[in-house]
Amino acid sequence: MDSKELFINGGETGQMMHIYQWKNNIIGTPDTWPPHLRTCVRIMLTSVQPMFIWWGEQFIHLYNDAFIPFAGKGHPAIMGRPAAEIWPDEWGRLSPVATAAVVENAGSFIKSSYFLLKKEEDTEELSYAFSYSPIIGPDNIVDGLLCVYNNYLNPIMGHRETLEVPVVENPEDVDLSTRLGK
């Protein structure tokens, strides 16, 4: 599939990705992307579920239209940027779980998490569940992560103090029950 086909029916973010100056990005131009990244990008862009991909060691951020509300005022500037730059306040919570998924080549599910979505004039609390799924290359190495969101927890916000949000410092500290959302 050529670059034009890759972004067809990808909505606003597909159009952005099509015209993005990838030659200046660490992951290179779409015509050089490996087939497994191209396949995941196609799945992500055509999904109505909020999704993003973190690619490579820097977790370069690619996302779909359904993810735009989670991006807040960061959209569209967060496209193609390292995750640690995009989520500096939350990186301490996100990094260990993402790194564990890469190191262990295993998916994760976080069933109770919240973020503050910073909008132009106010801040909104969002709660959601999300999962990281490894994207495996032909060499059986994890090259990135596909993340799928589900905000089914929004009705319980206001009771955040009763939520147990897993916070870990090291990938080794992420046990199987945390990673499976138990």
pLDDT at 176 over 60: no
Give the residue with greater pLDDT, 168 vs 4: 4
Distance in angstroms (rounded) separating the CA atoms of residues 63 and 80: 9
What is the predicted pLDDT for the residue at 171? Answer: 46
- In sequence order, which ranges of the chain are alpha helices (DSSP H)? 3-7, 11-19, 35-46, 68-71, 83-86, 91-104, 176-179
Chain centroid offset of residue 155 CA: 23
User: Looking at the DSSP assignment, which residues form a beta bridge with residue 143?
Assistant: none
DSSP 8-class letter at 51: E
Distance in angstroms (rounded) separating the CA atoms of residues 19 and 50: 21
Give the residue with greater pLDDT, 113 vs 108: 108
Report the CATH number that the domain containing residue 39 is assigned in CATH: 3.30.450.20
CB 63, CB 73: distance < 8 Å = no
Distance in angstroms (rounded) separating the CA atoms of residues 121 and 179: 35
121 SS3 class: coil
Which has the minimum average pLDDT: 3-7, 50-54, 128-132, 170-174?
A: 170-174
* pTM, full prediction: 0.78
What is the predicted pLDDT for the residue at 90? Answer: 79
What is the predicted pLDDT for the residue at 9? Answer: 93
Q: pLDDT digit string (tens) for 69-111?
A: 888 788 999 999 999 998 887 788 889 889 999 999 998 877 6
How many domains, the chain?
1
What average pLDDT is seen over the chain? 80
Distance in angstroms (rounded) separating the CA atoms of residues 174 and 2: 39
Domain encompassing residue 63: 3-179
Average pLDDT (20-32) is 96
Give the residue with greater pLDDT, 140 vs 171: 140
| Confidence label for 32 from pLDDT (cuts 50, 70 and 90) | very high
